[in-house]
Structure 1
């Protein structure tokens, strides 16, 4: 049989671990080709490529982010390949399976749950006696009726072959994310998460895990993302893995999902002392800081211990942290979510991901949807549209927060400015992002693209129009200028602000800066941007207050590709006026 394993990834850089697990388990009996696409690829292009492969069996791995696009491709394939056997698997079709069989008449089989052994047994029956009722974990059709077999017992992880050693993957390892698992299962029972359905955690053999990681790194992998639901649930296992990765990373970066409030102090101390900067990234699901909400979704979380972990990791300066929030959980209205957002933003994670509750098939929260008055999308991704406490109007507003948060905090384009705005100029971080998000929406900017200078100009436009008495325009504009200059690797050709130093003042500043820095004036003109601020930037950085007794000459120098821009803040000499002559540019 010609077997093709296919999926539509969210992005090209992603890879499908599921397909590789299936391929590895079938090897020796059945050869399977892997065909990966993205949800942005035209369905005709995907169907044409699969048609070209002349498959007898096509297996699709299905998730909430790709199921609807996959269905379009399946319907096309059924018309052009009427005899092909189409199999679906993955978490999206492992629940409500009978409904999927009824809806998707073009599909022949669905593999539920862990798929390695079930898919291999299905291929055996397709090439043999075709006694599908013997295959645990399989749904199939008989006499036009959907039959759903009993589920399969958990697999022995020690019996699974490695999915990481296919020669055809090696050429692209350096340019894609490698997904890796050291365990399966989750010890927690969060009712919005599919992982809560499987009780218990099983681990792969440590020596095998280390050998596979060494192979991937030796073969060129640059980013390995562990898919374990709680990487640090077993302290000794996690500590041994951290130690191994520190000793063997060779420039590779590793990303983990951790539960912060159970991270042991000795593990934190070890990481603070030994972790190389930039090699580890932590993803931490906070979701909510509202105790009533966490109780309702059976989520155990010790906020003070979580804060301790995130703070200690941040203070080490070695590990970037990505913290997740979910808007729309039970017992959380707009005001309590505002508090959750501000609680988590106060930790200043490198990235704060604001997501919206998805009523996933098979989860307890979807089963209890009526209890909380949930309404949600009928099709994937099943995002909630409102509940008894958070109507759709509030969801829409919070989505505006998400939009500008992503552009202005997570992208780290203007950290100095945003830190000032959220800490000093607005009542809270949430209030700033909400007011700015509302302004962004009112002007229709969400429907048009933007260049870097547009993002700065739009923020400045909002700040001028917002009439916020706590805002110091001189400080704000000065910080925006500094952030803008530092976002470039080469001296920018365009600036977005209207007030510019006139030529005589600019020449005088250049000469003064060159003399004070001991640099050649002509070289400085080519490789530096110069601007004057009407306040003492050094006092601002050190003391957080505005001193207008003298200004600052800002010099940003550029060394070119691969080197960050350098900021020099030169206090203006005594007797030199803080205010510069300006022209409208």
Structure 2
């Protein structure tokens, strides 16, 4: 019997851990292959590939991001291969199973919950006596009746063979995300999360975990994401793995989901002292800072302790942090969510993900939807459309915040500019993203794509439209941000240079002759005038940039000469250097004759 286990990933770079577990567990007794596609692949292409593989049993791993696309595949493949046995599994079909069996007559079986042992047993029975009522944890058909058997006891995790040792995965490890788990289960009971349903936490053997990690690192993996719901729940276990990865990372990056308010100071101090910069990333689910909201969803969270953890991690400059928010939780209205957003943005995360509540099948919050007046999508991803305190009109506005947040903060295109605007020009971070998002919508830009340059010109348009007071200072920061977004010297800019070509040549000649007057670091580059012409850009900014970057003070009486150097092979990031310009005449567009009289020794 030929078995094929498939899934549709959200992106090509993603990999499915679930189907690899199933193959590892079943391959000792069955011929098992796996097939991965993406939700963007044309359905006909997927069906054609499945047809050519000629499986006897076809399994699909189902999630909210792929269920509707998977259904389309199932309906097509069953028409051309009616004898094919189709099995579904995964979190999306493990709840409301009777609904799925009735909605999808093409499906023969559904595996509910943890699937390795159940799927293996099901395959044995399919090939054997076909007494399906002896298989715990499945749904099947008996005539027109849907039969759901009792759930299966949890498996000893160490009985599951490693899903990370398939030779066919090795060639693509460096180009894809590897998902990895050291435990299953979650100790918390957040009512919007499926993890709250499983009681207790089980761990894989430590030595097995280390061996698998080392194998992946040695085989070329570049990014490993741990899928443990609360990686740091067991301090000693987490510390041991952190220490192991620090000693054996070899350039690989590791991402963890942590609960920040239970992170012990000694763990943070260990990481601050020993972790190399850049190899660890933390994903922290804050969701809401509203105490009533957290209480209603049974989410225990101490925001003061969470703040301490995030601040210590940020100040160590070792670990990037990705903080999550959920809009639409119970009793979180527009004003309350604005406060939540500002509370969390103030922590300075490298990335702030703004998501919207999804009423997942099986969760307590979905069961209580009527209590809070929720309306939501009938099909996956079940995103809310409103509730008693957050109407659809407010959700639409917050979505504009999300859109601009992704483009301007999480993409790190204009960090210096955005931080200045939030501090000096807007009441709060939320208000900046909201007002800009509203303007973006008014201009119809959500209907068209954008290039890097467009991000700058559109922000500039918004700032001019609202009569921004310190526009010249903002423009200076935008110029620096624009230059630093290129690996090579940019071919075009979105503004008119402050200095003409003749003046640029004089500056570049002076920079080549007197680099020590810029900085020791600039002098060490030993750049000739020709190299500067080819690999550097210069611009005059109407304020003391170096003073601002060091202290946050804006002194417009002291203009700066900004020098950005792009290494020829782009092996290193561009570097910028700043030196002051004395005399306001450097900023004024005087006649060429007057500019020629300017003494070069006035540049310090």
Q: TM-score, normalised by structure 1?
A: 0.98
Residue 486 of structure 2: aligned partner: 488
- The answer as to whether partners of 2:279 and 2:319 remain within 8 angstroms in 1 is yes
Q: Gaps spanning 5+ residues in structure 1: where?
A: none
The answer as to whether partners of 1:509 and 1:553 remain within 8 angstroms in 2 is: no
> Is 1:112 the equivalent of 2:121?
no
CA deviation after TM superposition for structure 1 residue 574, in Å: 5.3
Q: Which residue is 2:519 aligned to? A: none
Tell me by how many angstroms 1:509 deviates.
Answer: 2.9
Cα shift readout 1:309-368 (whole Å, capped 9, x = no counterpart): 000001000000000000000010000000000000001100000000000000000000
Residue 98 of structure 1 corresponds to 98
- Equivalent residues in 2 for 1:141-180 (5 A)? 141-180=141-180
Aligned to 2:79: 79
CA distance in 2, matches of 1:33, 1:448: 41
Instruction: Please report how far the alpha carbon of residue 159 of structure 1 lies from its aligned counterpart in structure 2 after TM superposition.
Output: 1.2
- Deviations for 1:210-253, whole angstroms, at most 9, x for unmatched residues? 11111111111111110000000001111111111111111111
TM-score normalised according to structure 2 size: 0.94
3-state DSSP of counterpart to 2:281? strand
SS in 1 for 2:493: coil
Cα distance in 2, alignment partners of residues 282 and 86 from structure 1: 38
Question: How much has 1:407 moved relative to structure 2?
Answer: 0.6
Contact 2:195 2:229 in 1 (8 A): yes
Q: Which residue matches 1:572?
A: 581
Distance 1:395 1:369 in 2: 17
Q: 1:576: how far off?
A: 5.5
Matches within 5 A, 1:78-477: 78-468=78-468, 471-477=469-475
Q: Distance in 1 between matches of 2:435 and 2:103?
A: 43
Q: CA deviation at 1:455?
A: 0.6
Q: How many angstroms does 1:500 deviate by? A: 4.3
Matched, 1:546 2:554: yes
Aligned residue number for residue 536 of structure 1: 544
Partner of 1:522: 530
> Can you list the C-alpha shifts for 1:359-389, whole angstroms capped at 9, x where unaligned?
0000000000000000000000000000000
User: 1:536, CA displacement in angstroms?
Assistant: 1.5
Task: Supply the RMSD in Å over aligned alpha carbons.
Answer: 1.3
Q: How much has 1:506 moved relative to structure 2?
A: 2.7
* Aligned with 1:513 (options 495, 511, 514): 511
| Secondary structure of 1:531 counterpart | strand
Q: Is the 8 A contact 1:122 1:132 kept in 2?
A: yes
Q: Does the residue aligned with 2:255 lie in a helix, a strand or coil?
A: strand
The equivalent of 1:44 in structure 2 is 44
**Which SS does the other structure have where 1:14 is aligned?**
coil
2:557–2:584 CA contact under 8 A, matched in 1 = no
Closer, same or farther: CA 575–96 of 1 in aligned 2, 3 Å: closer
Q: Distance in 2 between matches of 1:69 and 1:577?
A: 61
- 1:297–1:365 contact (8 Å) kept in structure 2: yes
Shift of 1:582: 9.9
How many angstroms apart in 2 are the aligned matches of 1:442 and 1:499?
A: 30
In structure 2, relative to structure 1, the CA distance for the partners of 1:138 and 1:581 (3 Å cut) is: farther
State the 1:515 CA deviation.
3.1
Question: Does the residue aligned with 2:185 lie in a helix, a strand or coil?
Answer: strand
Residue 556, structure 1, aligned to residue 564, structure 2: yes
Indicate if the aligned counterparts of 1:549 and 1:578 stay in contact, CA closer than 8 A. no
Q: In 2, distance between residues paired with 1:294 and 1:557? A: 49
Q: Is the 8 A contact 2:498 2:587 kept in 1?
A: no
Kept in 2, the 8 Å contact 1:398–1:434? The answer is yes
CA offset at residue 172 of structure 1?
Answer: 0.8
The alpha carbon displacement at 1:27 in A equals 1.7
Matched position secondary structure for 1:323 = strand
Deviations along 1:258-301, one digit per CA (max 9) or x if unpaired, are: 00000001101000000111110000000000000000000000
The runs of 5 or more residues in structure 2 that have no matched partner are 516-522, 593-604
8 Å CA contact 2:351–2:409 kept in 1: the answer is yes
Partner of 2:602: none
Structure 1 residues 140 and 582, CA gap change in structure 2 (3 angstroms): farther
Q: Encode CA deviations 1:171-221: one digit per residue, 9 max, x unaligned.
A: 111111111110000000000000000010000110110111111111111
Q: 1:462 to 1:574 in 2, by over 3 A?
A: closer
CA contact (8 A) 1:323 1:349 kept: yes
- When structure 1 is superposed on structure 2, of 450-459 and 507-516 the one drifting more is 507-516
Deviation, 1:158, is 1.8
- Structure 2 distance, partners of 1:580, 1:289, is 51
Contact 1:260 1:306 in 2 (8 A): yes
2:486 counterpart SS class: coil
**1:502, distance to aligned residue in structure 2 (A):** 2.6
Alpha-carbon distance in 2 for matches of 1:415, 1:454: 16
Structure 2 contact 184–201 (Cα < 8 Å) conserved: yes
Q: What secondary structure, in the 3-state scheme, does the structure 2 residue paired with 1:501 have?
A: coil
User: In structure 1, how many angstroms separate the alpha carbons of the residues matched to 2:233 and 2:463?
Assistant: 45
Residue pair 1:89, 1:111 contacting (<8 A) in 2 also = yes
Corresponding residue of 2:600:
none
Q: Secondary structure at the match of 1:200?
A: coil
Q: CA deviation at 1:549?
A: 2.1
CA distance in structure 2 between the partners assigned to 1:216 and 1:504 by the alignment? 56
The change in CA–CA distance for 1:261 and 1:520 in structure 2 (over 3 A counts) is: same
CA–CA distance in 1 between the matches of 2:13 and 2:586? Answer: 53
Q: Hey, what's the Cα distance between the residues in 1 that align with 2:367 and 2:541?
A: 59
**Cα offset for 1:499?**
5.5
1:486-529 deviation line (CA, Å, top 9, x unaligned) = 11111101101145433333333333333332642222111111
What SS does the corresponding residue of 2:586 show, helix, strand or coil? coil
Q: Distance in 2 between matches of 1:157 and 1:542?
A: 52
Counterpart contact for 2:498–2:540, Cα < 8 Å: no
